[in-house]
Homo-oligomer: A and B are copies of this chain.
Amino acid sequence: MPKIVDHEQYRKELLGKCFDLFAQKGYGSITMREIAQNLGVSTGTLYHYFPSKESLFEHLVEEICEQDLSAALGELGGKKGISEAMTALGRYLEKNEDYFIKWTYIWVGFCQHQDSKEQSNNVYMRANQRYQQAACDFLGIRDRELATFVLSFIDGLLLGKLQGNKMINFPEQCALLGKMLTAYLQQQESEQLKIRN
Q: Which residues of A contact B (CB under 8 A)?
A: 24-30, 104-105, 107-109, 111-113, 115-116, 120-121, 124-125, 128, 132, 144-146, 148-149, 151-157, 159-160, 162-165, 167-168, 172-173, 176-177, 179-181, 183-184, 186-187
User: Contact at A26–B28, with CB atoms within 8 Å?
Assistant: yes
Write out the residue numbers on chain B whose beta carbons fall within 8 Å of the beta carbon of A120. Answer: 164
User: Contact at A111–B163, with CB atoms within 8 Å?
Assistant: yes
User: Contact at B173–A184, with CB atoms within 8 Å?
Assistant: no
User: Contact at B25–A25, with CB atoms within 8 Å?
Assistant: no
Q: Which of B26, B172, B187 contacts A183 (CB 8 A)?
A: B187
How far apart are A132's CB and chain B's nearest CB, in angstroms?
7
User: Contact at B108–A162, with CB atoms within 8 Å?
Assistant: yes
A167 to B148, CA, bound (A): 8
How far apart are A150's CB and chain B's nearest CB, in angstroms?
9
User: Contact at B108–A159, with CB atoms within 8 Å?
Assistant: yes
User: Contact at A115–B24, with CB atoms within 8 Å?
Assistant: yes
Query: How many identical subunits does the complex contain?
Result: 4
Q: Which of B26, B105, B113, B177 contacts A27 (CB 8 A)?
A: B26
How far apart are A69's CB and chain B's nearest CB, in angstroms?
15
User: Contact at B162–A111, with CB atoms within 8 Å?
Assistant: yes
- Other than A25-B28, A105-B112, A128-B160, give 6 A-B pairs with Cβ distance below 8 A: A24-B115, A104-B159, A111-B162, A144-B167, A149-B177, A183-B187
Q: A108-B105, A164-B125 are in contact. Are A152 and B145 (CB under 8 A)?
A: no
Q: Which of B128, B155, B180 contacts A180 (CB 8 A)?
A: B180
A173 to B144, CA, bound (A): 11
User: Contact at A156–B145, with CB atoms within 8 Å?
Assistant: no
